[in-house]
Amino acid sequence: MAYVSNIRMFVRVFELGSMSAAARDQRTSPAVASARIAELERHLGIRLFNRTTRRLQPTENGRLFYDGARKVLEAIDEAEAAVMASTRDLRGTVFCAAPLGVGRRFIAPHVPAFKDEYPRIDVRLRLSDRKIDVIGEGLDLAFHLGTLEDSTLKMRVVAECPRVLCAAPAYVTARGDPESGEGLAKGRHDCLNLRFPGAPEFQWTLVTPEGPRRYEVSGPFESDDGDVLTGWALDGRGIVLKPIFEVADHLRAGRLVPVARATPPLPVQLTCLTQHRRLRDPKIRAFTDFIVARCRADLQRETEALTI
């Protein structure tokens, strides 16, 4: 097993381009990662990486070994999965990521029930509104809310999530209701944007009588945490674009009210992304099926309970 662990570490170092990143991915220290690579190089009698103070570059032999190493690990993973599936004794660890709002509301509450049903499977749940690199971060699956760029990942649609433009009553009293996207685009309103480092200028896609149209919006506040934006909206600081499930309680209580109803936002798609080869792992398939079914039921109840 030590040799297999060394190969697995090599593959992650090769893919991530960093000893420290691979160590984090494999839940160990950079020193252990470096020792495993060195041990593998001694066993093979070749150098796998050229090391400098700034870069870690695979050698030609390293590139050749990577192709075979990937096939070896995939064969081992498939063999282990087949044994677990045949004995129905699912075990191991599932690494999952999700946006903050989705994870808190629809995934985290069901993880204990999944653990009760599959006591030998551990779950590592990572919540963040930033863009997730499923392959680079060594995740088994990730939930994604929004438009998906071209991807080599397997995509499973969980649900279509209606969205709403809304603001606090105090904001509407002070600044008025923009009524449509035209009022937003003219810069007469403060829009609360979800933005990450390096993101382009923000646009909201709204439905007009002529079809979907993008409006450039701006405002004095931005954050990479969707719940922070909700808090600012509740404080009367601007207009926020949100999936209905994230603000349903506030809408029902009147703490937020819909605005710009003439041009509502397009729904957003919630999807589950998985590496193709990981889908063959029965523990990952079991976790995905379990959570997706409950997410769909929860989202349907939440949406049906509120009519905008």
pLDDT of 229 above 70: yes
- Supply the CATH number for residue 78's domain: 1.10.10.10
Residue 195's domain spans which residues?
163-266
Do 204 and 73 reside in the same domain of the chain? no
Q: How confident is the model at residue 238 (pLDDT cuts 50, 70, 90)?
A: very high
Cα angle for residues 165, 167, 171 (degrees, 5° grid): 145
Task: Say yes or no: 289 and 218 in one domain.
Answer: no
CATH of the domain at 139: 3.40.190.10
With a cut of 60, say whether residue 199 has pLDDT above it: no
45, 66, 86: which is the final residue of a domain?
A: 86
C-alpha distances (whole Å) from 113 to each of 121, 232, 290 are 12, 34, 9
140, 167: one domain = no
30: which 2 tokens?
A: 């950079």
Task: Check whether residue 280 and residue 156 sit in a common domain.
Answer: yes
User: What's the pLDDT at 51?
Assistant: 79
Q: Are residues 154 and 277 in the same domain?
A: yes
Residue that is last in its domain, among 42, 58, 86:
86
The whole-number pLDDT of residue 261 equals: 93
Take residue 101 and report the two structure tokens written for it: 């709002």
| Same-domain status, 167 and 257 | yes
3-state helix, strand, coil in the chain (%, to 5): 45, 25, 30
Q: Report the candidate in 244, 218, 222 with the shortest Cα–Cα distance to residue 232.
A: 222
Around Cβ 224, how many Cβ atoms within 10 Å? Answer: 17
**What's the pLDDT tens digit per position in 289-300?**
999 999 999 888
pLDDT band at 73 (very low <50, low <70, confident <90, very high): confident
Report the relative pairing of strands 239-243 and 191-194 from DSSP bridges: parallel
Same domain, 230 and 246: yes
Q: For residue 177, give the 3-state DSSP assignment.
A: coil
Q: Report how far apart the first and last C-alpha atoms of the chain are (Å, whole number).
A: 57
Asked whether the predicted pLDDT for residue 86 surpasses 60, the reply is no
Number of domains forming the structure of the chain? 3
**End-of-domain residue from the set 58, 86, 114:** 86
Distance, in Å, from the CA atom of 198 to the CA atom of 106, rounded to the nearest integer, reads 29
Per mean pLDDT, which range of 150-154, 199-203, 266-270 is the poorest? 199-203
Helices within the chain (DSSP H only) = 2-16, 19-25, 30-44, 60-87, 100-102, 111-117, 169-175, 181-185, 226-234, 244-253, 282-304
Asked if residue 157 and residue 174 are part of one domain, the reply reads no
Structure tokens at 298: 């929860």
Q: Any idea of the CA torsion for 230, 234, 240, 244, to the nearest 10 degrees? A: 70
Backbone angles phi, psi at 167, to 5 degrees: -155, 165
Asked whether residue 33 falls in the same domain as residue 78, the answer is: yes
Q: What is the pLDDT of residue 1?
A: 63
Say what the pTM is: 0.68
Non-local CB neighbours of 247 within 8 Å, separated by 6+ positions: 164, 166, 230, 233, 240, 256
Mean pLDDT computed over 202-209: 86
Distance, in Å, from the CA atom of 175 to the CA atom of 289, rounded to the nearest integer, reads: 46
Same domain, 142 and 201: no
Cα 125-12-104 angle, rounded to 5 deg: 10
Same domain, 82 and 105: no
pLDDT at 197 over 60: no
Q: Which run of H or E residues covers position 272?
A: strand 268-274
Residues 114-152: tens digit of each pLDDT: 999 999 999 999 998 877 888 778 889 999 988 776 567
Same domain, 235 and 186: yes
